[in-house]
Amino acid sequence: MEQDQVWDDHAARNYDTPGTGMFAPEVLEPAVDRLAELAYGGRALEFAIGTGRVAVPLAGRGVPVTGIELSLPMIGRLRTKADEAEIPVVVGDMATARAPGAYTLVYLVYNTISNLLTQSEQVACFRNAARHLAPGGRFVIELWVPELRRLPPGQPATVFHSEPGYIGLDTYDVLQQHVVSHHFRFDGSRQAELFRSPHRYVWPAELDLMAQLAGFALESRHADWEGSDFTADSRSHVSVYRLPAAPER
């Protein structure tokens, strides 16, 4: 399944959930606060900008934001919130597309690097980030930690979330490092709605090696945007990679 088929009109229409889920203030505001700090007064580039969940409030903080996005329907949703002059967007793949200018910050949030389904594409994404950054610039990735410890022996699936009206199920192919997330939404009827998205999961150590191949060094890693310690039990991480600063003259 190609990513532009996953993020189609239907997905774009249902992506925004104002005030809840990934749009809940307690989820979104710490991310925007931290990214505004890491932009350090410069320009920011968001890979896979989507409907502008992060870009719109970040631009509202005075950070000039540009985006790269493969899905035209997602860009269409963004355009209901901000026009091209406010948040320019380049249509293309985040592993290869080029946005004009140089940036102090490139960021890729909410597990989106896993939408690239091969290791080579993920390495290319790091290299693309490096191409866009000024010396000393930072690349920030928010990513989940693969939950293979929860996978029962001989079973390919885990439930990652369950609440009234929703069940989230991941099915793993551990040989290929692939996982498909299945999102079931239902009400009191016999009908349910299913949305599926394929991913390639990445361990933190592998992510760090990708960063090194692109010229980055790990600056910090925390369990969340508030800066909590990253431990063996953390379910996700926010990793900040940095390019070398320009040599002093």
Q: Is 6 left (phi over 0), alpha (psi -120 to 50) or beta?
A: alpha
Q: Rounded distance, CA 55 to CA 90, Å? A: 14
pLDDT for position 229: 98
Q: Rounded distance, CA 180 to CA 157, Å? A: 9
- Lowest mean per-residue pLDDT among 17-31, 66-80, 111-125: 17-31
> How many other CB atoms are found less than 10 A from the CB of residue 77?
19
What's the rounded mean pLDDT across residues 217-228? 97
- CA 57, 59, 61 angle in degrees (round to 5)? 75
pLDDT for position 249: 60
Question: CATH for 3-146+202-242?
Answer: 3.40.50.150
186 contacts 193 by C-beta, under 8 angstroms:
yes
What type of residue is 94? M
Residue extents of the structural domains in the chain: 3-146+202-242, 148-198
Pick from 183, 186, 179, 208: which is nearest to 196 by CA?
Answer: 183
At residue 90, does pLDDT exceed 60? yes
Tokens of 204: 């933190």
- For 1-18, the pLDDT digits (tens) are 555 566 777 777 777 788
pTM for the structure as a whole = 0.91
108 contacts 140 by C-beta, under 8 angstroms:
yes
- For 121-147, the pLDDT digits (tens) are 999 999 999 999 999 999 999 999 988
DSSP conformation letters of the chain: --HHHHSSHHHHHHH--TTSGGGSHHHHHHHHHHHHHHHTTS-EEEES-TT-TTHHHHHHTT--EEEEES-HHHHHHHTTT--TTTS-EEES-TTT---SS-EEEEEE-TTGGGGS-SHHHHHHHHHHHHHHEEEEEEEEEEEEPP-GGGSPTT--EEEEEEETTEEEEEEEETTTTEEEEEEEEE-SSS-EEEEEEEEE---HHHHHHHHHHTT-EEEEEESSTT-PBP-TT-SEEEEEEEPPPPPP-
At residue 154, does pLDDT exceed 90? no
Compute CA 190 distance to the chain's CA centroid, rounded to the nearest angstrom. Answer: 33
At residue 196, does pLDDT exceed 60? yes
Q: Rounded distance, CA 46 to CA 99, Å? A: 10
